[in-house]
Structure 1
Amino acid sequence: MAGSSVSVDYSQAMNLEPVAAGDWLVVAPVLITMLGGALCLMLRKNTDLQPKLGVSFLVLLVVASAGLLLRVLDQGVITMVMGGWLPPFGIAFTVDALGATLTMIGSVVALCAGIFGMSTVDSTGRRYGFYPFLLLLMTGVCGAFLTGDVFNLYVWFEVLLISSYGLLVLGNDRIQLDGAVKYGVLNLVGTNLFLIATGLLYGMFGTLNMADIAGKVAELNNPASGTLATVAALYFLAFAMKAAAFPVNFWLPASYHTPNIVISAVFAGLLTKVGVYALIRLFVLVFPKSLDYMADVVALVAIGTLLVGAIGALAQSEVRRLLGYLVIAGIGSMLAGVAIGSEQAIAGAIFYAVHSIIVMTALYLASGVMNLMAGSYDLRKLGGLYQKNAAFAAVFLILAFAVSGLPPFSGFWPKVVLVAEAFDDSRAWLGAAILLSGFLTTLAMGRVWIYAFWRGGPEGTADGQSVSGDGAATMHLKGGTVWLPLLILTALIVYFGLQPEWMMDLSQRGGNSVVNPLGYLRSVFGGEG
C-alpha cells in the first residue's frame, strides 16, 4: 500500500559493520596492480616514464603485501566480502598465511623483474606494454592467491593468462609466436577443464565459496563417489596442466625460452606456482577426502615430474631450455608434498614453492647476464665467464647449489622436510625420487658451471679466450638495474638457507590453515565455522 514501510533485517544477508582500516590491505595488491596497469597503459607512448611508473607501483605492491602478511600473522585469517554481502552470497577475499606469504614473495619477484627490465626491455617493448602487462599479470597472480571463491579463482587465472599471452609475444619474433601457440593451446585446454569442473561443483553444492563447499563436503557420506570424484579428477588435470606436471609438461620447455629473458624469469618464478597453489587450496582445504583416494596418482605424477624435469635438464645445451626443465622438476617436489598430505608435508611444499619462486627467477635473470656477457645462451658458445667476473660466478654457483637442494641454501630445508615426511608416510620411493632428482639437477648445473664459467673459452677458441656480447648489451652490465635484482634474490636464498626458522614458521602456519581449516571457516562464517 502506498506510503507503507516494511522493516527489513539486512543483518542476515549483509555485513553492516564498517570494514576495519587494516582489512583493506586484503584487496590492496589487486587494486594497486590494476590501477598501475591501467595508468601505464594510458601512458604507454611515453617510454621513458614507463619504467619509473611500473617500478613505483611494484614498490607499492611490495609494501602492501608486506603489510597484509604482518596483519595476517597478527590477526589470523582475514575475510573481506564485496558489497558487504555475507558469504556464501557475496564474493569473498579470504587471506591466510599461505596466500599472504605467496603474495609477498611474488611481489618481491615482480619488483626485481621490473627493475631488471629497466635495462633489458627496449623502447619498443615498453611501448607495446611490458610494464602494463607485468602489472596486470600480478593482478591475476595476487587475486588467485587471495580469493576465497572458486569461480573468482578461475577469473584471476584468466587475467594472468591473458597478460602472459601479451608478454609472451612481446617482440613479435617468429620463435615467440611459435612458443605462444603451444603455450596457449595447452592452457586453453586446462582452462576449459577448470570451467567444466567449476560448473559441476556449483551444480552439486549451489555455492562456489571455498569455505562453504568445504563444510558441505565434510557432511557427505561418501565423498569418493559420483560427481565429486569426477570434479576432483578434472581439477587435478586442469591444475596439473597449468603447473606443467608430467605428462602434460611439454608446453613449458617449448615456450619459456622464447620471450625476453626477464619475461621468462617472471613466468618461471610465478605462473606454475599458481597451479600448485590451486591444487593445495582445493584438494587439501576444500575436498581433502578426495585427496585420500587420489594420493597414489598424485605421487606417481610427482615422481614422473621430478625425473622428467631433471633428466630433461641434463639433455639440454641451451641454458634457457635447461632452466625450463628445472622449473618442471621443482613442481614435482611440491606435488610430492601434496601427495603425502600431512601438515608438515604441505608446509614443506609451501617452503619449496617460496624457494622455487625466488631461485628460478634468479637463475633466469643470471642467464640473461650470461647472454649480455658472452652473447649467447648456448653452452657450446659460452666459456671464460669466471675470468670476466668472479663475483658473478660466485652468485651463479650459489644459485646452482640452491636449485639442487644443497646446503646451506634455501632449497635444502624444504627437501629435508619432504623426504622425511615421505619416509614417515611409507612412501620411500617418493623420497628416493626427490633425492635422485636433486642429484641429477646437481649434475646438470655442474655442467653449466664447467662449460660457462670454469673452462677458459667456448668451443673452437684458445684457452682463456671468450666470445663477448655486443657493445650495447655490454653497456647494460654497467648499470645497477641489472645487478641489483639478482643480488636481492640471491641474498634471500642465502638468508632462508642460513636462517630458515622464519620461513619455516610461515610455511607451517600456511600448512596448518589448509590441513586444519577451522580458523579459515570461522573467518568466513564467524562462530558457525
Structure 2
Amino acid sequence: MAAETVDISHAMVMAPATAGDWLVVAPVAIPILFGALLLMVRHETRLHSGLAIGGLLMTLATNIGLLARILNEGPQVMTMGRWLPPFGISFTADALGASLALVATLVACVCAFYGLKDIGATGRRYGFYPFMLLMMAGVGGSFLTGDIFNLYVWFEVFVISSFGMLILGSTHQQLDGATKYAILNLVGTTLFLTATAFLYGIFGTLNMADIARKADAMRETGPLVTLTMLYLLAFGMKAAAFPVNFWLPASYHTPRIVTAALFGGVLTKVGVYALLRVLVMLFPDERQVLSGVIAWVAAATMILGIMGALAQSDIRRMLGFVVISGVGVMMAGLALGTEEGLTGTVLYAFHSVLAMTALYLLAGVMNEIGGSYSLHDLSGLYRKSPLIAALALLLVLAVAGLPPASGLWPKVLLVRASIDAGQPWLSFAILLTGFLTTVALGRVYILAIWRQKEAPAGEAAAAASPRIGYAALVILTVPVLLLGIYPDPFIRIAAAAATGLIDSSAYVGAVFPMGVQP
C-alpha cells in the first residue's frame, strides 16, 4: 500500500530563508555568539575588549542593513523552526524596533570603547564584557521580537545581565543599589508575566500581529482595559515612570560610570518601546480610554523627575533624575496617540539614548579630571580642558531642548501635537521641564566648569588626559549635533515608526501574508 503524501505547506515555511532574512535575527545572534566566545577565553582578559568591540561593530552593521531593508521593503519577519505564525515564534522587525536597536547598539559600541579605561583587569575577569554583550542581546531581542511572551523572555535576559554589571566591584553601595534594582524589577516582571497570562487566556495567542488583528473582535467579550492597565503599570515600572520610578535613582549612581551610561541611555527606552508597542499597536482603543491617566503620569514624571535633579549635588544621582524626566516627555506622545505626537516620542527616544549616554560619560571624564562627582568639590574644569567645556555646553543644550542640538525638534513636535490635540497644559509641562532642565544642568556647568576656587593647600592640580573619554564623547556628540542641525532623515525614520504603530496593517501583513489564517 502506497504511503500517503502529507501536505505540510499550510503549517510550515517551505521556502528557504534568504540571506537578507537573517538580518532580522543577526542583531541578537551576534552578541550571544560573541558573549559565548568571551566565556570560552575568560582567562585571556586582554582579548575581551577587542572581541566585544568587534562583536558590537558587527551587530551595528547588521542593524544598519536591517533598517535600510525595512525602509525600502517594509517590516521583515523570520519565524523559528519553519513553523508558520502564530505557532512558530516570530521575529518581526519594523521601523520602530530596528531604529531603536540601531541607536542602542551605537552607544553600546562607544561604551565598550570607553570601557578600555574604565574597566580594569578585575572587571574583565569577572565578566563585564560578556555581561554587556548578553545585555545587548536582550535589548535587541526586546526590540525585534514579534511575540509578547518572548518580549518577557528578552526582558529577563537583559535584566539578569545588567544585574551582573551592576554588582561588578561588590562595594557596599553597589550591593545596596543592586538589591533595590533586583527587587523592584522582579515586581515589574511579575506584573508583566501576570498580564501576559491574562492576555493568553483572552486571545489564545501571544503573537503580536495575531493579537492586533483579533483585538477588535475581543473588545465586547474581554476585559481589555484592565489588561492594558496591567501592561501600563508593568512597563511603566520598567521605564521608570511616576509613581513607580523610585528604583532608578537608588541604583544607577552605584556602578562604574560606563555601566551607568549604558543603563541610563538604553534600558528605560526598552520600557518605553514596550508601552508604545502594546498600547498603541495592540490596544489603541484602550489606550484612548486611558489617555488622560497617561497624560497626568507623563506630566508628573517629567516635572517631579527634574525637580529631583535640582535637589542633587552628586552628578551621577542628578543624571538618574534627568533620565526619569525624559521618560515623562516620551510618555506625553504616548498619551496623545497622534502621528505627530508619536513621531516626537520616537525622535526623543533617539535623542535620549545618545545624549544621556554622553552625559554619563561626560561625568566620568569630569571625575577623572577633577577628582570627584560632587558639585561641592569640582571647579575650574574649563581651564583644565577647554574641549570638555565645549562638549558639556553642547550636551546641556541638547538635554534642555535648546538649539542647535538634538533635543529641540522632538520637543517642538510634542508641544505642537499637544496644542493641536487640545491639551495646552501638557505642552506647558514639556516647556516647564525644559526650563528646569536648563537650570539643573546649567548649575552643573557653572559650578563645575566655570567656577574658580582655590585648591586646598598642598593639593596638586589634576593632570589627567583622558583621551579615550574625549574620543567617546566626540563620537556621541556628532549625532547629537547632527540631529539638531539636520533633523530631516531622523524625523522621517521616526515618522515611519509612528505610522507603523498607528496603522499596523503592514506589520500584520508581513507576518500573515495575503491574509493567511492560522
Give TM class, smaller chain.
Answer: over 0.9
Once the two structures are superposed, the pairs formed by residues 480-499 of structure 1 within 5 Å of their partners are 481-499=468-486
Q: Distance in 2 between matches of 1:213 and 1:232?
A: 13
Equivalenced residue count is 516
Contact 1:382 1:466 in 2 (8 A): no
2:159 counterpart residue number: 161
Q: Does 1:32 align with 2:30?
A: yes
2:248 counterpart residue number: 252
1:527 counterpart residue number: 514
Q: Does 1:202 align with 2:200?
A: yes
Moved more, 40-49 or 152-161: 40-49
How large is the RMSD of aligned CA atoms in angstroms? 1.5
Counterpart code for 1:273: K
> Residues 282 and 467 (structure 1 numbering): CA distance in 2 closer, same or farther, change over 3 Å?
farther
2:367 counterpart residue number: 371
2:150 counterpart residue number: 152
2:107 to 102, 106, 109: 109
**Residues 278-306 of structure 1, C-alpha deviations (whole Å, 9 max, x = no match):** 00000111111110100011001001101
| Equivalent position SS for 1:252 | coil
Measured after TM superposition, the shift of residue 528 of structure 1 is 1.1
**Residues 316-357 of structure 1, C-alpha deviations (whole Å, 9 max, x = no match):** 000000000000000001000000001111111000001000
Measured after TM superposition, the shift of residue 429 of structure 1 is 0.9
Counterpart code for 1:382: L
Q: How many percent identity over aligned positions?
A: 52
Once the two structures are superposed, the pairs formed by residues 40-439 of structure 1 within 5 Å of their partners are 40-222=38-220, 227-439=223-435
> Residues 221 and 233 (structure 1 numbering): CA distance in 2 closer, same or farther, change over 3 Å?
closer
Q: Distance in 2 between matches of 1:244 and 1:44?
A: 34
Counterpart code for 2:232: F
Counterpart code for 2:29: L
Counterpart code for 1:331: V
Q: Distance in 1 between matches of 2:86 and 2:427?
A: 40
Measured after TM superposition, the shift of residue 110 of structure 1 is 0.3
> Residues 125 and 243 (structure 1 numbering): CA distance in 2 closer, same or farther, change over 3 Å?
same
Q: Distance in 2 between matches of 1:350 and 1:322?
A: 24
Q: Does 1:14 align with 2:12?
A: yes
Q: Distance in 2 between matches of 1:99 and 1:295?
A: 23
| Equivalent position SS for 2:16 | coil
Contact 2:202 2:222 in 1 (8 A): no
**Residues 363-418 of structure 1, C-alpha deviations (whole Å, 9 max, x = no match):** 00000000000110000000010011111110001000000001111100000000
| Equivalent position SS for 2:91 | strand
Q: Distance in 1 between matches of 2:14 and 2:21?
A: 15
> Residues 355 and 450 (structure 1 numbering): CA distance in 2 closer, same or farther, change over 3 Å?
same
Counterpart code for 2:477: T
Q: Distance in 1 between matches of 2:81 and 2:460?
A: 60
**Residues 63-107 of structure 1, C-alpha deviations (whole Å, 9 max, x = no match):** 111111111111111111001111111101111111110011011
Measured after TM superposition, the shift of residue 6 of structure 1 is 2.2
Q: Distance in 1 between matches of 2:359 and 2:216?
A: 43
Measured after TM superposition, the shift of residue 467 of structure 1 is 6.9
Measured after TM superposition, the shift of residue 482 of structure 1 is 2.1
Measured after TM superposition, the shift of residue 37 of structure 1 is 0.7
Measured after TM superposition, the shift of residue 230 of structure 1 is 1.9
Measured after TM superposition, the shift of residue 219 of structure 1 is 2.2
Measured after TM superposition, the shift of residue 468 of structure 1 is 4.7
> Residues 226 and 524 (structure 1 numbering): CA distance in 2 closer, same or farther, change over 3 Å?
closer
Measured after TM superposition, the shift of residue 457 of structure 1 is 2.9
**Residues 413-441 of structure 1, C-alpha deviations (whole Å, 9 max, x = no match):** 00000010011111111111000011000
| Equivalent position SS for 1:126 | helix
Measured after TM superposition, the shift of residue 15 of structure 1 is 1.2
**Residues 438-464 of structure 1, C-alpha deviations (whole Å, 9 max, x = no match):** 100000011000100001137x759xx
Q: Distance in 2 between matches of 1:243 and 1:517?
A: 23
Q: Distance in 2 between matches of 1:7 and 1:431?
A: 64
Counterpart code for 1:495: L
> Residues 425 and 124 (structure 1 numbering): CA distance in 2 closer, same or farther, change over 3 Å?
same
Counterpart code for 1:511: A
1:510 to 476, 497, 500: 497
**Residues 20-50 of structure 1, C-alpha deviations (whole Å, 9 max, x = no match):** 2111100001110000111112212212111
Q: Distance in 1 between matches of 2:391 and 2:469?
A: 13
